[in-house]
Amino acid sequence: MLAVHEAQADFVWRSLQRLGIRPADLEDVFQEVFVVVHKRLHTFDGSSALTTWLFGVCLRVAAAHRRRAWFRREVPTDNVAATFEAPTGESPDAALEARRARAALDRVLDEMDLDKRAVFVMFELDELPSEEIAAILGVPVGTVWSRLSAARKQFQKIVARHKARGGSLE
């Protein structure tokens, strides 16, 4: 179990981020994943890659996390410390615009189905090749392309809905 944690902790952490786990919840959900891994590792039969099995665990734990009532009611606010960030060399206006763009992207991604979101984020944002995504998910490359196409359509639909409501994603 310890060897799995040491070898795959970064993979699990990135997977949970891709699945939309908020930074404030990331450590708790990460721990939940490894509790499940500890309980279920004996069921791993080696018929797929360990990362494929782990991603499935991450997907189920993330889905359960999102279904919890407190998650749906919680309205996250900006961290006060984030407003006092050290200067990065960019203008305050550019930094503000970048934060707003990221927040808008996060809102759209939060509305996407988890399986589509995962493929979309891995391909479009993390820039992973489709072969690597297929290996992580344990699916054929054609399935990755199919899910990516569906994810892009869903993404565009959500963006259009946000724009129709208020003219922008803000």
| pLDDT tens, position by position, 56-106 | 899 899 989 988 856 555 555 555 444 445 456 678 888 888 888 888 888
Write the CATH number of the domain with boundaries 91-166.
1.10.10.10
Q: Report angle CA 120, 104, 90 to the nearest 5 degrees.
A: 105
The CATH number assigned to the domain with range 2-71 reads 1.10.1740.10
Hey, is 45 helix, strand or coil?
coil
CB 113 within 8 A of CB 19: no
User: Token pair for residue 124?
Assistant: 């479009």
CB burial string 122-134: b at 16+ within 10 A, e below: bbeeeebebeebb
Task: Report how far residue 68's alpha carbon sits from residue 29's, in angstroms, rounded to the nearest whole number.
Answer: 12
| DSSP state letter for 43 | G
pLDDT at position 168 is: 60
pLDDT of residue 12: 93
Distance of alpha carbon 128 from the chain centroid? 14
Provide the residue ranges of all domains of the chain, joining segments of one domain with +: 2-71, 91-166
| pTM (two decimals) | 0.69
In this structure, the number of other CB atoms found within 10 A of the CB of residue 9 comes to 13
pLDDT at 95: 82
Written in H, E and C, the secondary structure of 82-128 is HHHCCCCCCCHHHHHHHHHHHHHHHHHHHHCCHHHHHHHHHHHHCCC
Question: Which residues have CB under 8 Å from 23's CB, separation 6+?
Answer: none
**Structural contact between residues 114 and 59, judged by C-beta atoms closer than 8 angstroms:** yes
Residues of the chain with pLDDT below 50 are 80-84, 86
3-state helix, strand, coil in the chain (%, to 5): 80, 0, 20
Q: Do domains 2-71 and 91-166 have the same CATH topology?
A: no
What is the structure's pLDDT at 84?
A: 47
